[in-house]
A and B are shown apart, each in its own frame.
Chain A
């Protein structure tokens, strides 16, 4: 990965999102449908990265899989406690325990 190029590209597109409206606008009401749609983008992106990581094993859906069990444990802890550090500890801990049992 060419990180300099990646960061340059990300910097340019991010700056465009920040500066464009400040320059263009006098007074313009953003349509509420647009506002609403954009609020879901980060959540959808995070979910889209998580799901394949915990559900797929070598391209196939695999539920008997340490990562799926650990992911599920992390989701439950996050949903019920909303505590970030605890979620990470339980998720990684479950992964290590299940891996120890699954591997010969």
Chain B
């Protein structure tokens, strides 16, 4: 490769890392809280850090730590992780056409770093033909992924350390830290009738089904929450609330990507 080609790659890489920064900073408090929650769930620092390093999926990590704290059997945590992370398949579907022609190793490696943040940053770059260097946009994706990854690891370590330093106050209500952190994350995301319905129904079913073995109630509750959210969203759209961009969409056009779906800003 020529020298010019190399500098194009470098430019793309750092552009990706730079463009994802606002989202990386947005994720910072969640990374820190994740570290604290792991501590209260009885996970060692190694387990918390290894989960960030190998799983690298914010909300799934939170939910898994919560389930660990409640003594949920391992297969149910893994299954819940799968369900919570299914949205990545949508991101993959949306970005796949842009990755055609890349070596398999590149695609496999980029896939590992695919997060809400890197998807949101990268898809915009791919779709805008006036931006960047078309032949090297995978370096942009890589830069975004690596910036997010490195910061998420640091956030986790910092959060666990803060939790340890808070030792005494945490011990007084150790098992309550988790629900209260979850409330702090969830409630601000409930901005529409459909999201509120989804959360209320999921919560109610979880309480009613709490007696079922093996946390089966959790899966039932998630299913009921999805159903309530979808039904309520459809009803909302029929009365066509002004300002709701989805409601103005022609129902016959399919969503082009996960990006067009209602956004749950921080909750992923």
Residue contact B262 to A14, C-beta cutoff 8 Å: no
Residue contact A19 to B207, C-beta cutoff 8 Å: no
Residue contact B92 to A18, C-beta cutoff 8 Å: yes
CB of B80 closer than 8 Å to a CB of A: yes
Residues of B within 8 A of A39 (CB): 87, 229, 261-262, 264
Task: Using A44-B198, A44-B225 as known contacts, say yes or no to A23 and B254 having CB atoms under 8 A apart.
Answer: no
Bound together, the chains give a CA A17 to CA B108 distance in angstroms of 12
A-facing mask of B210-245, CB < 8 A → 1, else 0?
A: 110000011001101110111001000000000000
Interface of B is mostly: helix
Residue picked from A42, A56, A75, A84, most chain B C-beta under 10 Å: A42
Residue contact A30 to B222, C-beta cutoff 8 Å: no
Query: How many residues of A are counted as interface, with CB atoms below 8 angstroms from the partner's CB atoms?
Result: 74
Residue contact B179 to A13, C-beta cutoff 8 Å: no
Query: How many residues of B are counted as interface, with CB atoms below 8 angstroms from the partner's CB atoms?
Result: 106
Residues of A within 8 A of B103 (CB): none
Residues of B within 8 A of A47 (CB): 186, 198-200, 202-203, 206, 221, 225
Bound together, the chains give a CA A86 to CA B195 distance in angstroms of 23
CB of B188 closer than 8 Å to a CB of A: yes
Residues of A within 8 A of B94 (CB): 30
- The stretch that binds A, out of B2-10, B50-58, B148-156, is B50-58
Residue contact A91 to B226, C-beta cutoff 8 Å: no
Of B47, B91, B181, which contacts A7 at CB under 8 A?
B47
Residues of B within 8 A of A25 (CB): 92-93, 96-97
Residue picked from A5, A34, A55, most chain B C-beta under 10 Å: A34
Bound together, the chains give a CA A21 to CA B92 distance in angstroms of 5
A39-65 at interface with B (beta carbon < 8 Å): 39-56, 59, 61
Rounded to whole Å, the gap between the CB of B142 and the closest CB of chain A is 14
Of B90, B187, B218, which contacts A21 at CB under 8 A?
B90
CB of B183 closer than 8 Å to a CB of A: yes
Residue contact A84 to B29, C-beta cutoff 8 Å: yes
B253: nearest chain-A partner, CB-CB: A32
Of B112, B190, B198, B204, which contacts A15 at CB under 8 A?
B112
A-B pairs with lowest CB-CB distance, top 4: A44-B225, A51-B203, A21-B92, A78-B187
Query: Please, could you name 20 A-B residue pairs with CB atoms under 8 Å apart, sorted by A?
Result: A3-B46, A6-B74, A13-B81, A14-B88, A19-B112, A22-B92, A36-B230, A37-B229, A40-B226, A44-B229, A45-B63, A45-B218, A46-B186, A47-B186, A48-B225, A49-B178, A54-B179, A79-B190, A84-B185, A92-B173
Other 16 A-B pairs with CB < 8 A, given A30-B90, A45-B83: A3-B46, A17-B89, A18-B88, A18-B111, A19-B107, A19-B111, A21-B89, A39-B87, A40-B226, A41-B83, A41-B222, A42-B267, A44-B229, A52-B210, A84-B185, A96-B173
